[in-house]
């Protein structure tokens, strides 16, 4: 395996130098800070391939970005996640790209969180039940200032806050460790019950994969969300119809996931997971629905979204791009999503 950076370096935030800036590249959109999306000239040098923060980390509790700003943020998230996976030569690009737009809306508009106080007890919670797509979550945490941005160069390395799957003990801003599919929703339900019982106004967001919904525990958790009237629980399902062994329809048909959640007592929405106007509108609507019903937003998504050769290709579930693929991918992402 080739590693773009010196493998095995222990992550020490204080010891990391600030990334050197390099010339901006033509494929970068204006507004993406120069250096973001920098493509290495040659393997082996460490200075030229580092990204720098795309924006200064925000420390306010809720960031209220506009839809246009969120679109820009989604580009930064995709580029950051892909850079992490490329440098680590390991990780899951497909699902990271498919959930980028929802993550942008959650972390830069919706969630009430404080990077300076990641364990703030009144914070909104986020449970990435499909833990393998963590590069996109790490990108959000890095861009939001939970973790020094430089940490993106340490994905999957010894001592990194960015473990192969989310580890709440190692990474600030991770509300529960995940990685074994099917378990996160139960944990989210536990957090939401605690919120209700303690009279707190925080909300719990959970993100599931459609393939993950083949796990029985998801439905055990769903029935409990109904019983305990958890309208503070908002479940996103990434409906990309791909899993490792093929399409969900081939491997194990999910039928209509929105209908299933509805049968379990949820209030459901079906939206386009790459349309930020729609994502934002839906989140605004969800907020007003304090009716005792847990929420489920099934968003149609394209695995690998934003990179033409990764889109809808199951093989890109857990594979890192090579240098040429990375370069092409970064250019395409910089162009924004095609309508």
Contact residues toward other proteins (CB under 8 A) are 121, 125, 167-169, 175-180, 183-195, 197-198, 216-217, 220-221, 223-224, 227-228
State in angstroms the smallest separation of the CB of 294 from other proteins. 14
d(CA 321, CA 315): 11
Cβ neighbours around 41 below 10 Å, total:
11
State in angstroms the smallest separation of the CB of 189 from other proteins. 5
Asked if residues 283 and 109 have their Cβ atoms less than 8 Å apart, the reply is yes
CA distances from 128 to 8, 151, 163 (A): 26, 19, 14
Closest to other proteins by CB, 187 vs 280, is 187
Closest to other proteins by CB, 216 vs 339, is 216
d(CA 29, CA 36): 10
Closest to other proteins by CB, 29 vs 194, is 194
What's the longest Cα–Cα distance across the chain? 57
- In degrees, to the nearest 5, what angle opens at C-alpha 307 toward C-alphas 306 and 308? 110
Per DSSP, the three-state class of 224 is helix
Closest to other proteins by CB, 7 vs 263, is 263
Residue with tokens 């923060």: 53
Alpha-carbon dihedral sign for residues 193, 194, 199, 203:
negative
Q: How far apart are the two ends of the chain, measured CA to CA in Å?
A: 36
Pseudo-torsion of CA 302, 210, 83, 234, nearest 10°? 100
Closest to other proteins by CB, 130 vs 153, is 130
Residues 6+ apart with CB under 8 A from 5: 46, 49, 87, 153, 154, 157
Residue with tokens 């930064």: 76
Closest to other proteins by CB, 200 vs 327, is 200
DSSP H helical segments within the chain, as ranges?
Answer: 67-88, 93-98, 100-105, 134-144, 184-197, 216-227, 248-251, 257-263, 276-287, 323-334
Which parts of 229-277 are beta strand (E)?
A: 233-239, 242-243, 246-247, 267-272
Closest to other proteins by CB, 57 vs 172, is 172
State in angstroms the smallest separation of the CB of 186 from other proteins. 2
Closest to other proteins by CB, 27 vs 120, is 120
Query: Is residue 15 classed exposed, middle or buried when 0-12, 13-18 and 19+ CB atoms within 10 A define those classes?
Result: exposed
Closest to other proteins by CB, 52 vs 217, is 217
């Amino acid at each position: 395996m080739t590693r773009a950076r010196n493998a095995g370096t222990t992550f020490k935030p204080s010891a990391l130098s600030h990334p050197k800036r390099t010339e901006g590249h033509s494929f970068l959109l204006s507004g993406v800070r120069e250096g973001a999306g920098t493509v290495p000239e040659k393997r082996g040098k460490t200075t030229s391939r580092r990204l720098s923060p795309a924006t200064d980390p925000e420390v306010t509790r809720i960031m209220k970005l506009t839809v246009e700003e969120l679109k820009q943020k989604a580009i930064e998230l995709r580029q950051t996640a892909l850079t992490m996976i490329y440098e680590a030569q390991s990780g899951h690009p497909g699902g990271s790209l498919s959930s980028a737009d929802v993550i942008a809306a959650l972390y830069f508009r919706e969630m009430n969180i404080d990077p300076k106080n990641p364990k703030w007890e009144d914070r909104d919670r986020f449970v990435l039940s499909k833990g393998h797509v963590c590069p996109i979550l790490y990108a959000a945490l890095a861009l939001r200032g939970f973790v020094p941005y430089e940490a993106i160069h340490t994905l999957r390395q010894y001592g990194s806050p960015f473990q192969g799957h989310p580890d709440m003990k190692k990474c600030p801003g991770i509300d529960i460790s995940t990685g074994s599919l099917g378990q996160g929703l139960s944990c989210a339900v536990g957090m939401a019950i605690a919120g209700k019982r303690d009279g707190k106004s925080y909300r719990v967001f959970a993100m599931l994969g459609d393939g993950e919904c083949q796990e029985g525990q998801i439905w055990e958790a769903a029935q409990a969300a109904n019983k305990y009237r958890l309208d503070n629980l908002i479940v996103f399902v990434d409906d990309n119809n791909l899993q490792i062994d093929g399409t969900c329809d081939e491997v194990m048909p999910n039928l209509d996931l929105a209908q299933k959640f509805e049968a379990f007592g949820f209030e459901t929405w079906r939206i386009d997971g790459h349309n930020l106007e729609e994502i934002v509108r839906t989140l605004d609507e969800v907020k007003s629905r304090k009716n005792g019903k847990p929420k489920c937003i099934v968003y149609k998504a394209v695995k690998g979204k934003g990179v033409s050769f990764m889109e809808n290709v199951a093989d890109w579930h857990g594979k890192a791009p090579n240098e040429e693929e990375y370069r092409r991918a970064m250019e395409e992402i910089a162009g924004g999503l095609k309508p």
